[in-house]
Amino acid sequence: MAILDDKHILALEDEPVVAFLLEDMLRDAGAADVTVACRLAEAEQAVAKGGIDAAVLDVNVHGQLSYPIADLLAAAGVPFVFASGYGDREHPERHAGIPTLTKPYNAAQLEAAFAAGMLGKNPVK
């Protein structure tokens, strides 16, 4: 997945096993650094710190929706994809075009989601 080569990726995921698998997939795909956040506040701090090139956001994190983090990323011009155990849930209009991975997903699906983001309103830099 050349689009993630040497990138710093934020992974917002509240399930530890899924977070470890996602981190491994991102590193195997060429990511230079992966910041794993398991709470919205941690993700918000990572975005505020800067240096994030792209992100994977679990939609439901400990009962809270990750859309505020998506808003921060969008405002900063940082591309992202959603991940959800709820399938093709309907996102708010402002994020309607963002690719969504349905859990469980694999590395090929992760790559396809980032590729779709490159072609849509959410281009991966």
In a domain, 92, yes or no: yes
In a domain, 102, yes or no: yes
In a domain, 124, yes or no: no
Interacting residues of 47 by C-beta distance below 8 A, sequence separation 6+: 10, 69, 72, 73, 76, 78
Percentage of the chain exceeding pLDDT 70: 90
CATH code where residue 108 lies = 3.40.50.2300
Report the predicted TM-score, pTM, of the whole model to 2 decimal places: 0.90
Tell me, what's the pLDDT at 123? 40
Domain of residue 27, residue span: 2-119
In a domain, 61, yes or no: yes
In a domain, 125, yes or no: no
Give me the chain's average pLDDT, please: 88
* 10 touches 50 (CB < 8 A): no
Tell me, what's the pLDDT at 20? 96
pLDDT digits (tens, 9 = 90+) for 75-88: 999 999 999 987 65
Residues 55, 10: Cα–Cα separation, whole Å? 4
pLDDT digits (tens, 9 = 90+) for 59-117: 999 999 999 999 999 999 999 999 998 765 688 999 988 999 999 999 989 988 887 76
> How many structural domains is the chain composed of?
1
